[in-house]
């Protein structure tokens, strides 16, 4: 096969698998936050604050993966 095709396949697979973790993490964060709020509605403010903070960290990992995939696509 053409090396350019293989390069793009590798970039696509690495980006796809790399973004799978943050996607699953954000889903679990939302699920856990909703479960916690439904069990203890008085703690909704603290749970929501922590959920947003941890969600931002998980989202940052997804952005790092995207940047690495773009760099690989441009230089490799």
pLDDT single digits (tens) 16-59: 999 999 999 999 999 999 999 999 999 999 999 999 999 999 99
C-alpha–C-alpha distance, residues 74 and 41, integer Å: 49
Q: What angle do CA 27, 71, 29 make, to 5 degrees?
A: 10
Q: Are 63 and 21 contacting, i.e. CB atoms less than 8 angstroms apart?
A: no
**Token digits for 16?**
């796809």
Give the domains, in start order, of the chain with CATH numbers. Answer: 3-75 (1.20.20.10)
Inter-CA distances, 42 with 38, 51, 74, Å? 9, 15, 50
Q: Are 73 and 8 contacting, i.e. CB atoms less than 8 angstroms apart?
A: yes
Q: What is the pTM of this model?
A: 0.79
């Amino acid at each position: 096969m053409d090396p350019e095709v293989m390069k793009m396949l590798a970039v696509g697979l690495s980006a796809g698998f790399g973004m799978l973790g943050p996607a699953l993490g954000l889903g679990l964060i939302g699920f856990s936050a909703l479960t916690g709020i439904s069990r203890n509605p008085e703690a909704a403010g603290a749970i929501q604050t922590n959920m947003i903070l941890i969600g931002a960290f998980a989202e940052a990992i997804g952005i790092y993966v995207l940047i690495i995939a773009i760099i690989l696509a441009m230089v490799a």
